[in-house]
């Protein structure tokens, strides 16, 4: 039986909105795909773009950012910074050949447990269809086949 | 005592996997996870246990710290929002810094949301690996302690706010009660009788309202609204806008002669207290027992304000009391309080959203709140049930669940409507001897003496029809009657019941400005825009913002006894903080590494709390730790990596990333 | 044979500017030449690879290696110089972080070859001939180095002792490095031989920068009549000084141009481009959509701007998959 590709998605969730929403999805016993790994931060504004690149570099097939809706940030303005960084990150990741569906920003409030479920399920399926993200780390040039004309 | 240290000295980690009964163990292979953890680098002890949060569970941690000289603890269990403090305390009691602890969520984020046992266990492995890698880098931290200002702000003067304020004031705390209407009392003051005892609402409420007014420890401001909240738990600075009443409070004696004398011979303005059923004058008092017992002038309808040319017969009637002051302006006040209780109440569902019930189309369709005012002796019809066309109804239909338990409007049950429908059925029947048909989906009578009340009303001859009313339309029989079309599910037939009057049992909703208010106080809303409690079972009056508590219907629909109980609970929570005198704040603040800060000032404008400033002499930026709330935005923005956030250092996050991805 | 320290210079995928930088020492170069024995410097003198191969391992005191690594020959030379040298110093942006040639990592190998030997405007190659790594000629078999899948930094190829950043490294830093080497006062292995502080620290325009700077618009140099005294970031230009290591004496600012980031990141940063992206996005003054998106569109080429010198050293290293070029 062929193995289905199981994507691994690293998620950065803000403590006050998205992390609580994921907790709510749990207390409500909603079911969603097990491919997600949540890293908890206080605010989506803490998400350093280095984290996103690092996650992709170290094998993540997708990266999901979760924060409070614009205007509702627990720390007032952190998510606005996240939004502007996201715009630039999208373009750089596209230049690096990383498909759009692999990097996603979602505003999920603490009451939206079902949004966590639907976003995770949707993203997992979209990334599954794209296949694993190919590694791009530097390789030595030895031990390669030399083409002979 | 094991040496607490980051990279100095060997790290010795204890890992504990909680079964949480079968909550976790039923889906995640906890035994396997313990075995897996034991083989991770730095892990000295790895156990699984049925209930880590229990006393024996916590003892395990303390004993292992002593016996195995552990200096790091990882617990995989429920959400950190529940038990992180519990395990940090256990870690501390075991003798090491409480922040050498990391929690892994394998319940809310794992066993409760996944069904594939193997996948859930692999996920558990990844999360554990991440936590073990991360906790190695944790540093010993000291929580910041801040004092708690003993004064309390209660927002909202309904029964919830009143009870919370009195409880706190009786305990010797100074309370500011801020209410935006001209009087306190809230919705309860509009009710006639309360279920199930049929106590007169005003009779049980007004003594409490008076007690508030008279209490030396309560500063009551009506016509006042909170406009800004700064600071943090224990040290809130609140700005309140006190709107002008145009009456000098100390001089008005509440004789009401100015209202009698007003140039308007009759009321012409829709009376808010009577839900638009009556009319009032521009100078008015909401209801006779209003507290404060002062009139108020509505500048939008008063002739003097609109034209400047009124005869001002009110001033004349006031005579040498000279209590009317058209020149009064609004005042902005600043309060310093330590805790805040939000008791901002509810609004009722607008039945115009369900057009086929005919509200606003057929004059004899009423909301329950309108009927409360009809049956109330101080209402627009002096307590008689008189329809808009002057008749007394001989048949009345009451429709339950208007706007509630409905996918198209509000999914939730509003909890009080069945009971108040029974009450109104009784009151209407008492006053009119009309035939009353109560159309319900379920009869929800869960409280003390509620079921007995239902039986009584049934015995009084109210007809109960089990069915959701599908349509209201004119009977066309010349009697001005309406047909209530409903499938009687117990009789298995559709009934078309002609009635003179329809009462819509409208549900409860959050106030229209709930989102604005919650932003003001930095809390969140849950479904339906009700304010969100910290935990639905165990912390129903706390919010996720320390120092802000909830009481009453602003948190969710409930009846008066539950509201009063919750208000008491909120007062107790506030008192607990005040009497403790201080609170520990999470030490997740950011600080700038002076040696590498280049003074580029990128961070300075980013902080909404103005915690970051540029020091001109040093030519470097600095973060004021007291003002920093620990969001970490500046940390991510610093282009030279010169800002660090305690508990969320870059290195710690990078280790988590490597851990979840199983990167070598 | 003199007892002077032996020094070597080599160049890989580079423009020659780093070699020029040595010459730029002007009179100071005479002191350097007097103090050391230059045993290998192909750009200046007639040395052969076999000369170096013949030396004993570790007999070269210090090798300054500039240029990025893309071909198998460059990789082999890097390995050779590593073996023969006690101290290997990555000299200049290309060997430090990949440099401008590193931008080739935005394209795939096949698309580069297709462009050069296929559809570039100046290419006439109707048979689609491609260079071959081995070709038999009457005299025997001639070989060409393999053109690798990506541009690498020196540290991604061999173990590197020190880094002299800059495009090219500023004279002051070169003199400082050579002096430290000769006096035996080099910092711990792995250090970058430049201050661990961003450029704003030594920028002469620093005091003109407002404490709270937020930008409503990002501009390109040709769109602004650049004020010669004021902070360039304040003028809306993409000055990467806040993210870039100092040590160059704010050279570009003195030429009234914004910093493009050639000295690379400070020690606390793993990915230069990511950090500078974060900083610029953070100080944008637009919170609502679509203004936020429009503001960020004002940065016309994020990948090229943020990773101009450092793409190979970045966390992602190079573009993956597909055959296309960079599209912003």
In tens, the pLDDT along B228-238 reads 999 889 999 99
| Residue C201 pLDDT > 60 | yes
Q: Are residues C131 and C22 in the same domain?
A: no
Q: CB–CB of B337/B236 below 8 Å?
A: yes
In a domain, C257, yes or no: yes
- What's the Cα-to-Cα distance from B612 to each of B230, B595, B602, rounded to whole Å? 16, 17, 10
Examine the pLDDT at C306 and tell me if it is beyond 70.
yes
Kind of pairing, strands C147-152 and B643-645? unpaired
d(CA B16, CA B12): 13
Same domain, C156 and C86: yes
Question: With contact defined as beta carbons under 8 Å apart, do B25 and B56 qualify?
Answer: no
Sign of CA dihedral B378, B384, B388, B389: negative
Q: What is the pLDDT of residues C259-285, one digit of tens each?
A: 999 999 999 999 999 999 999 999 999
| Residue B48, both tokens | 């699984």
Tokens of C58: 């570790």
Residues C284 and C218 in one domain: yes
Q: Is A128 exposed, middle or buried (0-12, 13-18, 19+ CB in 10 A)?
A: middle
Contact C319 A97 (CB under 8 A): yes
Please indicate whether, in this complex, the C-beta atoms of A34 and B120 are within 8 angstroms of each other. Answer: yes
In a domain, C64, yes or no: yes
Greatest alpha-carbon span in chain B: 95
* CA pseudo-torsion sign B452, B456, B457, B463: positive
Q: Chains meeting A at 3+ CB pairs closer than 8 A? A: B, C
Please state, in angstroms and rounded to a whole number, the distance separating the CA atoms of residues A73 and B522: 9
Residues of B whose CB is below 8 A from C197: 596, 598, 640
pLDDT-derived band at B664 (thresholds 50, 70, 90) equals confident
Other chains touching C, judged by 3 or more CB pairs under 8 Å: A, B
Q: Is the CB of B598 less than 8 angstroms away from the CB of C214?
A: no
Q: How confident is the model at residue B80 (pLDDT cuts 50, 70, 90)?
A: very high
CA distance B332 to B365: 43
For residue B266, pLDDT beyond 60: yes
Same domain, C289 and C271: yes
Task: Note if the pTM is more than 0.80.
Answer: yes
Query: Is C158 inside a domain boundary?
Result: yes
Residue pointed to by tokens 């199983």: B662
pLDDT at C324 over 50: no
C157-177 pLDDT, tens digit each: 999 999 999 999 999 999 999
The pLDDT mean for chain B works out to: 95
Measure C252 CA to nearest chain B CA, in Å.
17
What burial class does residue C122 get, using C-beta atoms within 10 Å of its C-beta: 0-12 exposed, 13-18 middle, 19+ buried? Answer: exposed
Quote the pLDDT of residue B394: 96
Is C317 within a domain?
A: no
Q: Helices A18-27 and A113-130 sit at what angle, rounded to 10 degrees?
A: 100
How would DSSP label each residue in B40-73? STTEEEEEEES-TTSHHHHHHHHHHHHHHT--EE
Residues of B in contact with C206 (CB under 8 A): 599, 619
C271 lies in some domain: yes
Smallest CA–CA distance, residue C320 to chain A, in Å, is: 5
Distance of CA A77 to the CA centre of its chain: 21
* ipTM for this model: 0.95
Strand B152-155 with B339-342, pairing: parallel
B459: tokens are 């015995």
Q: Which CATH number is C76's domain given? A: 3.40.50.700
Q: Report the gap between the CA of A24 and the closest CA in chain C (Å).
A: 28
Please, are residues B602 and B638 in contact by the beta-carbon 8 Å criterion?
yes
Confidence band of A149 (pLDDT split at 50, 70, 90): very low
Q: Residue B598 and residue C283: Cβ atoms within 8 Å?
A: no
Give the gap in angstroms from C-alpha B519 to the nearest C-alpha of chain C: 17
SS3 of residue B450 by DSSP: helix
Question: Residue A143's pLDDT band (boundaries 50, 70, 90)?
Answer: low
Cβ B614–C283 below 8 Å, yes or no? Answer: no
Give the pLDDT confidence score for residue C267 in this predicted structure. 96
Task: Report residue B39 as tokens.
Answer: 């083989």
Task: Among A70, A84, A96, select the one facing C320 at the smallest CB separation.
Answer: A96
Question: Can you say how many angstroms the Cα of residue C230 is from the centroid of all Cα atoms in its chain?
Answer: 28
Report how many Cβ contacts below 8 Å link chain A to chain C.
138
Domain limits for position C260: 199-297
Pair C76, C173 in one domain: yes
Quote the CA–CA distance of A67 and A80 in Å, as a whole number. 10
Same domain? C171 vs C60:
yes
pLDDT tens column, A92-140: 999 999 999 999 999 999 999 999 999 999 999 999 999 999 877 888 8
Count of domains observed in chain C: 3
B185: left (phi over 0), alpha (psi -120 to 50) or beta: left
Return the pLDDT at B7.
39
pLDDT at A139: 82
| Domain shared by C205 and C82, yes or no | no
Same domain flag for C135 and C154 = no
**Nearest CB to B598; choose among C200, C211, C270:** C200
Judgement on whether residues C158 and C211 belong to the same structural domain of the protein: no
Question: How confident is the model at residue B136, as a pLDDT?
Answer: 96
Residue C309: inside a domain, yes or no?
A: no
Q: Is residue C172 part of a domain?
A: yes
In terms of C-beta distances under 8 Å and separation of at least 24 residues, what long-range contacts does B55-60 make, across chains too?
B57/B16, B57/B18, B58/B86, B58/B87, B58/B89, B58/B90, B58/B93, B60/B16
d(CA A78, CA B458): 58
Whether C154 and C144 share a structural domain = no
Nearest chain B residue to C213, by CA = B605
- Shared domain check, C177 and C38: yes
**pLDDT, tens digit (0-9, with 9 covering 90-100), for B52-64:** 999 999 999 999 9
**Per-residue b or e along B155-177, where b marks 16 or more CB atoms closer than 10 Å to that residue's CB:** bbbbbbbbbbbbbbbebebebbb
Checking if the pLDDT of C323 tops 50, the result is: no
Say whether pLDDT at B84 is over 50: yes
Degrees (nearest 5) of the Cα angle B365, B366, B371?
145
Q: Which two tokens stand for residue C25?
A: 């020492």
Indicate the CATH number of A2-130 among 3.40.50.960, 3.40.50.1110, 1.10.645.10, 3.40.50.300.
3.40.50.960
Which of 9-68 (A) contact B at CB < 8 A? 10, 16-17, 19-20, 22-23, 25-27, 29-32, 34-35, 37-43, 45-51, 54-55, 58-60
Q: Would you place residue B403 in the very low, low, confident or very high pLDDT band (cuts 50, 70, 90)?
A: very high
Cα B309 to Cα B326: distance, rounded to the nearest angstrom:
12
CB contact under 8 A, C319 and A141: no
> What string of DSSP letters covers B173-198?
--EEEE-SSSSS-TGGGG-SEETTTT
Residues on chain C touching A103 (C-beta within 8 angstroms): none
Would you say residue C31 lies in a domain? yes
Distances (CA, A) of C270 to A51, A135, B12, B639, C311: 10, 18, 28, 11, 12
In this predicted model, what pLDDT tens digit does every residue of B183-197 receive, in sequence order? 999 999 999 999 999
| Same domain for C160 and C77 | yes
For the cut 80, the answer to whether the pLDDT of residue A142 exceeds it is no
pLDDT computed for residue A146 by the predictor: 44
Q: In what order do the strands lie in the sheet with B152-155?
A: B218-221, B175-178, B152-155, B339-342, B548-550
pLDDT at B534 over 50: yes
């Amino acid at each position: 039986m062929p193995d289905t590709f199981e994507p691994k998605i690293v998620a950065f969730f803000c403590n006050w909105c998205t992390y609580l929403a994921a907790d709510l999805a749990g207390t409500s016993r909603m079911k969603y795909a097990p491919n997600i790994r949540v890293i908890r931060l206080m605010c989506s504004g803490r998400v350093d773009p280095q984290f996103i690149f690092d996650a992709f570099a170290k094998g993540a097939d997708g990266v999901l950012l979760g924060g409070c809706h614009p205007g509702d940030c627990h720390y007032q303005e952190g998510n606005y910074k996240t939004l502007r960084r996201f715009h630039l990150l999208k373009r750089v990741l596209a230049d690096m050949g990383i498909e759009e569906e692999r990097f996603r920003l979602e505003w999920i409030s603490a009451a939206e447990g079902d949004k966590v479920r639907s976003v995770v399920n949707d993203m997992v399926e979209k990334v599954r269809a794209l296949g694993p993200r190919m590694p791009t780390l530097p390789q030595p040039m030895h031990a390669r086949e030399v083409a002979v004309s | 005592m094991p040496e607490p240290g980051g990279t100095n000295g060997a790290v010795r980690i204890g890992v504990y996997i909680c079964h949480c009964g079968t909550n976790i163990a039923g889906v995640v292979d906890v035994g396997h996870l313990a075995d897996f953890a034991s083989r991770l680098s730095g892990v000295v002890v790895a156990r699984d246990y049925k209930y880590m949060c229990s006393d024996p569970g916590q003892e395990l941690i303390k004993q292992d710290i002593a016996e195995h000289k552990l200096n790091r603890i990882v617990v995989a269990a429920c959400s950190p929002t529940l038990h992180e403090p519990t395990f940090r305390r256990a870690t501390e009691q075991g003798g090491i810094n409480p922040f050498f602890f990391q929690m892994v969520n394998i319940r809310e984020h794992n066993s409760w949301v996944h069904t594939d046992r193997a996948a859930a266990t692999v996920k558990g492995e990844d999360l554990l690996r991440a936590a073990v890698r991360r906790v190695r880098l944790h540093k010993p931290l000291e929580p910041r302690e801040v004092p708690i200002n003993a004064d309390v702000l209660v927002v909202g003067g309904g029964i919830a706010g009143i009870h919370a304020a009195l409880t706190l004031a009786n305990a010797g705390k100074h309370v500011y009660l801020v209410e935006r209407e001209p009087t306190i009392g809230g919705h309860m003051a509009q009710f006639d009788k309360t279920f199930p005892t049929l106590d007169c609402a005003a009779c049980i409420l007004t003594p409490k309202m008076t007690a508030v007014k008279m209490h030396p420890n309560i500063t009551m401001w009506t016509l006042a609204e909170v406009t800004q909240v700064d600071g943090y738990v224990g040290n809130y600075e609140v700005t309140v806008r006190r709107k002008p009443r145009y009456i000098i409070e100390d001089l008005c004696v509440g004789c009401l002669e100015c209202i009698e004398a007003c140039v308007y011979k009759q009321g012409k303005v829709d009376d808010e207290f009577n839900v638009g059923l009556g009319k009032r004058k521009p100078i008015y008092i909401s209801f006779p027992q209003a507290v404060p017992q002062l009139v108020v002038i509505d500048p939008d309808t008063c002739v003097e304000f609109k034209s400047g040319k009124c005869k001002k017969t009110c001033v004349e009637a006031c005579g040498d009391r000279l209590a009317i002051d058209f020149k009064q302006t609004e005042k902005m006040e600043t309060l310093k309080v330590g805790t805040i209780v939000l008791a901002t109440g509810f609004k009722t569902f607008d039945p115009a959203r369900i057009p086929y019930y005919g509200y606003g189309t057929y004059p004899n369709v009423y909301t329950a709140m309108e009927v409360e005012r009809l049956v109330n002796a101080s209402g627009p019809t002096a307590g008689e049930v008189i329809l808009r066309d002057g008749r007394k109804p001989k048949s009345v239909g009451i429709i339950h669940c208007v706007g509630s338990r409905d996918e198209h409007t509000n999914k939730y049950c509003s909890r009080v409507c069945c009971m108040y429908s029974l009450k109104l059925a009784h009151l209407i029947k008492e006053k009119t001897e009309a035939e009353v048909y109560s159309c319900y989906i379920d009869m929800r009578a869960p409280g003390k003496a509620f079921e007995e009340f239902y039986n009584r009303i049934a015995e009084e001859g109210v007809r109960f029809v089990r069915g959701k009313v599908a349509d209201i339309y004119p009977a066309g029989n010349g009697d001005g009657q309406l047909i209530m079309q409903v499938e009687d599910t117990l009789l298995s037939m559709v009934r078309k019941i002609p009635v003179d009057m329809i009462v819509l049992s409208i549900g409860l909703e959050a106030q229209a400005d709930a989102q604005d208010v919650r932003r003001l106080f930095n809390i969140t809303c849950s479904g339906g825009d009700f304010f969100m409690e910290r935990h639905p079972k165990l912390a129903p009056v706390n919010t996720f913002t320390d120092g802000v508590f909830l009481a009453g219907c602003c948190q969710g629909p409930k009846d008066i006894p539950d509201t009063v109980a919750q208000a008491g609970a909120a007062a107790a929570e506030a008192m607990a903080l005040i009497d403790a005198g201080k609170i520990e704040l999470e030490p997740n603040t950011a600080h700038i590494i002076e040696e590498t800060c280049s003074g580029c000032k990128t961070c300075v404008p980013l902080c909404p709390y103005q915690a970051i400033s540029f020091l001109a002499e040093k030519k470097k930026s600095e973060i004021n730790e007291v003002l920093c709330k620990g969001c970490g935005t500046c940390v991510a923005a610093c282009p030279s990596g010169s800002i660090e956030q305690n508990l969320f250092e870059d290195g710690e996050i990078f280790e988590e990333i490597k851990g979840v991805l199983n990167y070598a | 044979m003199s007892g002077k320290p032996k020094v070597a210079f080599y160049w890989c995928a580079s423009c020659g500017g780093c070699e020029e930088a040595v010459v730029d020492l002007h009179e100071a170069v005479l002191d350097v030449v007097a103090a050391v024995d230059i045993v290998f410097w192909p750009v200046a003198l007639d040395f052969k690879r076999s000369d170096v191969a013949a030396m004993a391992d570790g007999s070269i005191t210090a090798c300054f290696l500039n240029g990025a690594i893309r071909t198998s020959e460059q990789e082999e030379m890097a390995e050779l110089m590593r073996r023969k040298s006690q101290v290997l110093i990555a000299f200049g942006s290309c060997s430090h972080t990949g440099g401008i040639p590193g931008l080739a990592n935005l394209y795939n190998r096949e698309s580069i070859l297709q462009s050069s030997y296929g559809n570039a405007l100046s290419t006439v190659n109707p048979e689609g001939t491609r260079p071959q790594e081995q070709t038999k000629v009457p005299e025997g078999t001639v070989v060409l180095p393999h053109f690798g899948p990506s541009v690498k930094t020196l540290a991604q190829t061999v173990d590197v002792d020190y880094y002299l950043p800059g495009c090219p490294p500023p004279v002051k830093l070169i003199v400082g490095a050579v002096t430290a080497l000769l006096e035996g006062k080099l910092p711990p292995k792995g250090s970058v031989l430049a201050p661990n502080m961003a450029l704003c620290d030594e920028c002469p325009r620093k005091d003109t920068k407002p404490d709270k700077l937020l930008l409503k618009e990002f501009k390109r140099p040709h769109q602004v009549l650049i004020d010669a005294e004021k902070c360039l970031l304040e003028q809306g230009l993409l000055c990467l000084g806040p993210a870039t290591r100092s040590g160059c004496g704010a050279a570009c600012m003195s030429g009234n141009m914004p910093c493009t980031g050639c000295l690379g990141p400070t020690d606390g940063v793993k990915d230069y481009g990511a950090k500078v992206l974060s900083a610029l996005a953070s100080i944008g003054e637009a919170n609502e959509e679509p203004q936020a998106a429009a503001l960020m569109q004002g940065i016309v080429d994020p990948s090229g701007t943020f990773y101009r010198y450092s793409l190979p050293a970045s966390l992602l290293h190079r573009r993956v998959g597909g055959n296309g070029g960079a599209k912003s």
